Amino acid sequence: MSVSLLAQTLKGSEIIKIGGEINELKRQGEKITNLTIGDFDPAIYPIPTGLKHGIIDAYHANQTNYPPADGVTVLRENITDFLRERYQLDYATNQILVAGGSRPLIYATYLALIDPGDKVIYPTPSWNNNHYCHLSGANGIVVETSAENNFMPTADDIRPHLKGATMLALCSPLNPTGTMFAKKDLEEICDLVIAENKSRGESEKPLYILYDQIYSLLTFADKKHYDPVTLRPELKQYAIYIDGISKCFAATGVRVGWAFGPENIIGKMKSILGHVGAWAPKAEQIATAKFLTQTADLNTYLKAFKAKVQHSLDTLYNGIIELKSEGFAVDSIDPMGAIYLTVKVDYTGKTTPNGDLLKTSADVNFYLIKEAKMAMVPFSAFGTDANVNWFRASVGGCSLTDIEGMLPRLKAALEKLK
Ligand SMILES: Cc1ncc(COP(=O)(O)O)c(C=O)c1O
């Protein structure tokens, strides 16, 4: 074998396979409404102007050498203020770690806490926990969720798996569903973790919560974001938060993320990422630090950005619900946050005009790509069974007009299935 066992056993991404199909059709001159990518088209969703100018200014000021391993001080100071003002969370600068986006921080959390074989509990559908389990050698314990609870895990779902687990990976608002924890559900989960940790002896590793709130500023209408430490302050020593600018400022390519949590764990994550060198570029860190203090600009940006994302999500949601009322086997969950809509297209077992049987949700998706010129991602790409007929539709890469134009094509494609 020419490569390591880890390299050999890496799982390919289903989303990349779908991307290949879309690109092939584009090469043939087709126009596809691409609802697959968890990213933004910068022509539709540019980053905040203040942030862009800050980055350019920082390069003009020659901020081009190594940043400190935990992030430039002014950024960590301003994150401290931001957390206090926006979330009423109290974290000191040595409890914050900055990195090149939030991915390295999730990976570092796994590496800092997980020994090979340790149990990590995560719900499905969810984003990439299966890959981080693989990379860290964790024993991933999958908790299946249901549409009845907006695909968010409940205490009852999690309770049977807690004994001996080292980490519980949670995310809200959730990728891929755009749904969020209800206060009561998260409180009950928090209480489980507190009780479990009380039951553990000195020699046992505690149960930690990885709390990914990268979409927390992207919530709609009266939907409120909740987090474990605000609800249960005694969890502070057990919670590692993941956050950053990628999603809430449409800045996925700028690469500034941060984690916050107990100082000893954050310190170990800093050492791990120091060896990897996964720092955010220094100029971008300085610009982010400045932008976080430009409160009026930041709020104005967020308001307009959220309204635009919500309009697209609502348009898609209303279109699907209308099809449902006309008798089509589709459904959707009211968008709450992030850039995703949860869409049901319940057409497995049906036959296409070409006589092909649609056996799985992936088959349904490929049919819709070809026939309706629209692409989503089946939840199976986020860890659910292939027979779960729910999909993620991301609106970050599409214009409103594009989404409006797609709905009649979806209807026509579904009408052709027998
Ligand atoms: C829930 C969640 N966490 C983290 C990330 C990664 O963010 P970043 O681009 O900052 O690495 C994503 C990206 O899609 C995400 O959906």
Going residue by residue through the chain, which has 418 residues, state the pLDDT in tens, using 9 for 90 and above: 799 999 999 987 778 889 888 989 999 999 999 999 999 999 999 999 999 999 999 999 999 999 999 999 999 999 999 999 999 999 999 999 999 999 999 999 999 999 999 999 999 999 999 999 999 999 999 999 999 999 999 999 999 999 999 999 999 999 999 999 999 999 999 999 999 999 999 999 999 999 999 999 999 989 999 999 999 999 999 999 999 999 999 999 999 999 999 999 999 999 999 999 999 999 999 999 999 999 999 999 999 999 999 999 999 999 999 999 999 999 999 999 999 999 999 999 999 999 999 999 999 999 999 999 999 999 999 999 988 999 999 999 999 999 999 999 999 999 999 9
Q: Whose CA is nearest to atom 7 of ligand 1?
A: 102
47, 127, 152, 339: which to mutate for ligand 1, most atoms within 8 A of CB? Answer: 127
Question: Locate tokens 């052709």: which residue?
Answer: 416
Residues 271 and 157 in one domain: yes
> Range of 155's domain?
49-294
* pTM: predicted TM-score of the whole model, two decimal places: 0.97
Query: Of 279, 294, 309, which closes a domain?
Result: 294
Testing ligand 1's pocket by substitution, the residue of 105, 122, 128 carrying the most ligand atoms inside 8 A of its CB is 128
Question: Which residue of 98, 175, 242 sits with most ligand 1 atoms within 8 Å of its CB, as the best mutation to test the pocket?
Answer: 175
Instruction: Assess contact for 99 and 105: CB atoms under 8 A.
Output: yes
Say what the pLDDT of residue 15 is.
84
CA dist., res. 54 & res. 46, Å (int): 14
pLDDT (tens digit, 9 = 90+) per residue, 104-120? 999 999 999 999 999 99
Q: Which residues contact 181 (CB under 8 A, 6 or more apart)?
A: 152, 170, 172, 226
- Which of 263, 294, 325 marks a domain boundary? 294
Same domain for 328 and 261?
no
End residue of a domain, out of 269, 294, 319: 294
User: Tens digit of pLDDT for each residue in 204-242?
Assistant: 999 999 999 999 999 998 999 999 999 999 999 999 999
| H-helix or E-strand spanning residue 274 | helix 263-276
Residues 236, 140, single domain; the answer is yes
- 3 state DSSP class of 356: coil
- Are residues 85 and 135 both part of a single domain? yes
* 335, 200: one domain: no
Closest CA to 248 of 202, 309, 181: 309
DSSP-derived letter for residue 160 is: G
Q: Are residues 193 and 316 in the same domain?
A: no
| Total count of domains within the chain | 2
CATH of the domain at 376: 3.90.1150.10
Ligand 1 pocket by Cβ (under 6 Å)? 38, 101-103, 127, 171, 175, 212, 214, 244, 246, 252, 257
**In a shared domain, residues 152 and 203:** yes
Could you write out the DSSP letters of every residue in 171-206? ESSPTTT-----HHHHHHHHHHHHHHHHTS-TTSPP
pLDDT at 280: 98
Looking at residue 256, which CATH number applies to its domain?
Answer: 3.40.640.10
Clarify whether residues 129 and 38 are in a common domain. Answer: no
Are residues 347 and 398 both part of a single domain?
A: yes
Are 280 and 383 found together in one domain? Answer: no
Chain center to CA of 297: 25
